[in-house]
Every structure is written in C-alpha cells, then in structure tokens.
Amino acid sequence: MSRISLTRHLIEEQREGRVTPDLRLLLEVVARACKSISVAVGKGALGGVLGEAGGEAGSVNVQGEAQKKLDVISNEILLEANAWGGHLAACASEEMTHSLPIPDAFPRGNYLLVFDPLDGSSNIDINASVGTIFSVLRCPDGVSAPQDHDFLQAGSTQVAAGYCLYGPSTMLVLTIGHGTHAFTLDREQGSFVLTTANMRIPAQTREFAINMSNQRHWEAPTQAYVADLLAGSDGPRGKDFNMRWVAAMVGDVHRILTRGGIFIYPWDRKDPARPGKLRLMYEANPMAMLVEQAGGAATTGRARILDVQPTSLHQRVPVFLGSKDEVETATRYHLRHDSAAA
C-alpha cells in the first residue's frame, strides 16, 4: 500500500489550489518542530526535562500558571523553527505576554502563527498525553511589523489549524479548511503518514468530558444540563452517559474526533478575575475549526466560537465542542435560560 506522507498530502493540496506554497512551508515547519518536541517529551526523566522551569523560584507565565521546563523548551523549539523560513510575519504563544515579530535579520511572510506550545502540561510529570495546538491567520494587508492587535481576528478567518498529540504514538491532526486529517509519526522514518483522511464526528454521543470538581462554580444552565446527563436513563435524556477527562484539551478533543463526545470547559466563578479557563486564540479557535471541519460543532454555550471577535491575545472563553446534536442540546439549555431570564 502506498503511504501518503504529510509532505505529499500538502503538495497535492497545493496542486488543487487549496494551500499556497508559503502556507505549505509553514505547516511543514510546524510539523518539524512538533517532531522535535515529541523527541523532548519522549525522553522524560532521562532528558532532564521534567518538573518546573525557573529552578527553586519557579517561573510563571502571563496566565499566572507555573511554567514547566517542557513548556519553555517547546516554546523555544517552535520559535526557533519558524524564525528564518520567510513564511511568517509574527508568532504569539501562551507562554509569551506579547506577540513576537520575525527578527529583522530574516524576511517576513504573510502569515501569523499562534500556539499553545505544550497543552495539558500538568500531565508531563505523570507520563500522560500532552500536545501542541496551533492556529494560522493572515497578516493584515499593509502590516509589515505585526503587533498584538493584528492577531485579533475571529476564528472563522483561520487559514489552518491543528494539534500534535504526544501520546503512545505522536499524531498530527490538521485542517486547511477542507476536512480534518490525522497523520501518525513514523518514528523510524521520521515522517508523518496520513492515517485517517476526513475524520467525522458522530452527531450523537453518550460520552461527556468536564472537570466535575468545579460543579459548584458553574452557572445555572450548565448545572441543569450536566445534571440531566448524570440522571442518565432515569432523567429527561433517557439514556446513560459515560464520563472521560484526560486533563489535556488535546487528548479530550482527539478522543472526540476519533469516536464522538462532548467536551466542556464552561464559564465558572472559581476565580472571578478569570471566568473559564481555555484561551480563545490558541485553544478554542483551532479546536473549533478542526471539530467543525469534521462535522461537529463548537460554541461558547451561546454562540459559535469561530464568530467570537477577540479583544485580547490571551482572552478566555467558555467551550462546548464535539458531537453536533449534543453541543446544540447543551447550547439550547443556556439560550433557554437567557430568554426565560429576559
């Protein structure tokens, strides 16, 4: 059987006019960086990469989260790989307060790259799945030195989105707006091989993913929706639901792309300064594009995630994504609550 590598897939997409040579190069470079991150993650304790960054004092990112050594290493790998290719104008990352224009020493291209270099990093030290999430936007016309505000484009304008999952195998899942495709890293050959073209999420599901420990902090319609899931066949839903929680969004979304389900990180009052947890630009938007391209849905509980107009680089957003019918049901609970309250 002839294998289709990521390189061949992208060249064929270029011939179809679906990807520009520059975007193809950019995606190849991101994939190469992900291979390096996969190697670093795979070394575990032998590579001296476990634990917190910043030694005794520890270091904290702009989100107020403790940085792991691998968060910092992954961020550097992505920045270094993307600096000199000439395809990018600027990068932004969960691990950096502000975006970073491509250094003057190199030519600047027409795209912006925004990423979460290592999602789910609390899983690192327990040898469980983590991943890299990325989103590609166009650099606005006429902008030669992009700044943070140039990244503030709705998710519907993304030209590509994807993630790389570092699990028992390393997988790259990618969309350029023509379906969602999964590639598995052949570690001997060092190349990503197409293993599932056109992933499809079943519209219905019996599986949900939410951090139940935050239940008391949720708003009323989220409480009501999850209570009905838990009531199972004894409640209004008339069927039993199972629960899964990988604790890395990448892992939960990969499960949903593989066999369906709903993933929820709702708005909550746990920390009033930070309602909800996931970030729009480099977590919710790329995952929403991948999920929609696989026939699923992604909302804030009220509106389509890809239609949210960002107001800041690190803004948070509630996330309900996965099997279309289930996401629509969850969204109805919130909209019904709003109209009853109006």
Triad 132, 133, 135: Cα angle to 5° = 140
314 binds, among ligand F6P, Mn ion, none (CB under 5 to 8 A by kind): none
Collapsing DSSP states into helix, strand and coil, what is residue 109? Answer: coil
Name the token pair of 224: 């009501």
Among 28, 71, 95, 116, binds Mn ion (CB under 5 A): 116
The residue sitting closest to Mn ion, measured at its beta carbon, is 119
Binding partner selected for residue 247 from ligand F6P, Mn ion, none, CB under the kind-specific 5 to 8 Å limit = ligand F6P
| Binding test (CB under 6 A) with ligand F6P, winner from 72, 210, 249, 264 | 249
Given Mn ion, ligand F6P, none, residue 66, with its beta carbon under 5 to 8 Å by kind, binds none
Quote the least distance from Cβ 248 to ligand F6P, whole Å: 4
What number of CA atoms fall less than 13 Å from residue 199's CA on the CB side?
31
Q: Which is nearer to ligand F6P, 24 or 277 (CB)?
A: 277
Residues 267-286 that bind ligand F6P (CB under 6 A): 277
- 63 CB burial (10 A radius; 0-12, 13-18, 19+): middle
Distance CA 179, CA 247 (A): 26
Which of ligand F6P, Mn ion, none interacts with 248 (beta carbon under 5 to 8 A by kind)? ligand F6P
Residues 75-114 as x/- pattern, contact with ligand F6P by CB under 6 A: ----------------------------------------
| 247 touching ligand F6P, by CB under 6 A | yes
Q: Which tokens in the block code for residue 103?
A: 């250094």
Residues 6+ apart with CB under 8 A from 252: 209, 244, 245, 246, 261, 263
Q: Is 120 in the site for ligand F6P (CB under 6 A)?
A: yes
Applying CB under 5 A, the span of 5-13, 115-123, 165-173, 193-201 interacting with Mn ion comes to 115-123
* From 95, 119, 207, 268, residue interacting with Mn ion (rule: CB under 5 A): 119
Cβ contacts of 210 within 8 Å, gap of 6 or more = 226, 243, 245, 263, 264, 265, 266
Among 211, 223, 315, 329, binds ligand F6P (CB under 6 A): 211
The nearest distance, CB 221 to ligand F6P, in angstroms, is 20
Tokens of 183: 């590639």
Instruction: For residue 184, state whether it binds ligand F6P (rule: CB under 6 A).
Output: no
Residue whose CB is nearest to ligand F6P in the complex, by number: 249
Pair 267, 276: CB distance under 8 Å = yes
Nearest distance from C-beta of residue 249 to Mn ion, angstroms: 6
Q: Which stretch binds ligand F6P (CB under 6 A): 29-37, 48-56, 220-228, 247-255?
A: 247-255
Part in contact with ligand F6P (CB under 6 A); list of ranges 22-30, 196-204, 245-253, 289-297 = 245-253
Q: How many Å apart are CA 313 and CA 109, to the nearest integer?
A: 21
316 binds, among ligand F6P, Mn ion, none (CB under 5 to 8 A by kind): none
Q: Give dist(CA 36, CA 26) in Å, integer.
A: 16
Rg of the chain over all Cα atoms, to the nearest angstrom: 20
* CB contact at 8 A, 95 and 75: yes
Q: Where are the alpha helices (DSSP H) in the chain?
A: 6-15, 21-43, 69-83, 220-231, 249-259, 285-293, 324-341
Q: Which of 29, 150, 135 is nearest to 89 (CA)?
A: 150
Q: Tell me which stretch binds ligand F6P (CB under 6 A): 35-43, 187-195, 243-251, 332-340.
A: 243-251
Q: What residues line the site for ligand F6P (CB under 6 A)?
A: 119-120, 211, 247-249, 277
